[in-house]
């Protein structure tokens, strides 16, 4: 496999790429719906709603239960959801296989690492700390930290500006069409993970530069780290 010899830094999506967040998101949504005395949604439904930020996910939740909330009702529901998610997020969010060791390998080989997620920034510090990966990231960008969310390329432009990179020097790793579209629009090389969340559609249809089934395969693209990460 060809090496990406010009890569100077790597940016990652969070949900569906580094972590399996569906159980926590679904549980918080189910608790919110119960509080509002509405019908519920399944974990599988929520899996296909993730990727465009909390507001869009909740809009999809309400559509699934045939509810058209007013602006005020939606704001109240979002607050209820956030309260529940804050309580269940840590125990219901887990790293995918090989993520921790692969991030450690990249960090030890002096690759600056960035996190670029549409998840609200308020949830990120505690979550990354509980997962044990916070210290690997030089830059963390969540919803509210950038002017536009993915699939807009703005978050990746911000990463490049912060790290002082050209587009071909930043590798972006994600699991959804929003990730691949954002990276393509920013002219960055892309890695897609097949195991993530992509609205029930194969991520191969987004035509990433590389498509892997296992997170640690990222190491095979880079000249310095060795592809020997273990569980």
Binding residues for Mg(2+): 13, 15, 175
- pLDDT tens readout for residues 106-160: 999 999 999 999 999 999 999 999 999 999 999 999 999 999 999 999 999 999 9
Q: Residue range 34-40: average pLDDT? A: 97
225 pLDDT band, cuts 50/70/90, is: very low
Residue by residue, DSSP assigns 40-79 as ---HHHHHTT-SS-HHHHHHHHHHHTT----HHHHHHHHH
Domains, the chain, ordered by start: 9-18+96-220 (3.40.50.1000), 21-91 (1.10.150.240)
Name the nearest CA neighbour of 108 among 231, 219, 221, 220: 219
Supply the pTM of this predicted model. 0.88
Binding residues: 13, 15, 175
Whether 13 is catalytic is yes
Burial class (CB in 10 A: 0-12, 13-18, 19+), 90: middle
Q: Which pLDDT does position 199 carry in this prediction?
A: 86
Question: Which one from 6, 13, 66, 228 is the annotated catalytic residue?
Answer: 13
Read off φ and ψ for residue 52, nearest 5 degrees: -115, 20
pLDDT tops 70 at residue 226: no
- pLDDT tens readout for residues 163-210: 999 999 999 999 999 999 999 999 999 999 999 999 889 999 999 999
């Amino acid at each position: 496999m060809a090496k990406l010899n010009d890569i100077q830094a790597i940016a990652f999506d969070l949900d569906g790429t580094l972590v399996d967040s569906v159980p926590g998101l679904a549980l918080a949504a189910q608790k919110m719906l119960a509080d509002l005395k509405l019908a519920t949604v399944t974990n599988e439904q929520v899996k296909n709603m993730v990727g465009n930020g909390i507001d869009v996910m909740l809009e999809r939740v309400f559509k699934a239960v045939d509810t058209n909330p007013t602006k005020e009702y939606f704001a109240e529901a979002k607050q209820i959801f956030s309260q529940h998610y804050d309580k269940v997020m840590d125990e219901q969010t887990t790293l995918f296989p090989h993520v921790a060791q692969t991030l450690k390998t990249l960090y030890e080989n002096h690759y600056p690492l960035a996190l670029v997620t549409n998840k609200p920034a308020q949830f990120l510090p505690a979550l990354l700390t509980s997962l044990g990966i916070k210290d690997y990231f030089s830059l963390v960008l969540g919803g509210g930290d950038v002017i536009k969310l993915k699939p807009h390329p703005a978050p990746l432009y911000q990463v490049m500006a912060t790290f002082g990179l050209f587009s071909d020097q930043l590798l972006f790793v994600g699991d959804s069409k929003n990730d691949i579209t954002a990276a393509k629009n920013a002219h960055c090389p892309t890695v897609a993970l097949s195991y993530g969340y992509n609205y029930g559609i194969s991520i191969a249809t987004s035509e990433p530069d590389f498509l892997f089934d296992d997170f640690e395969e990222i190491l095979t693209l880079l000249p310095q780290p060795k592809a020997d990460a273990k569980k």
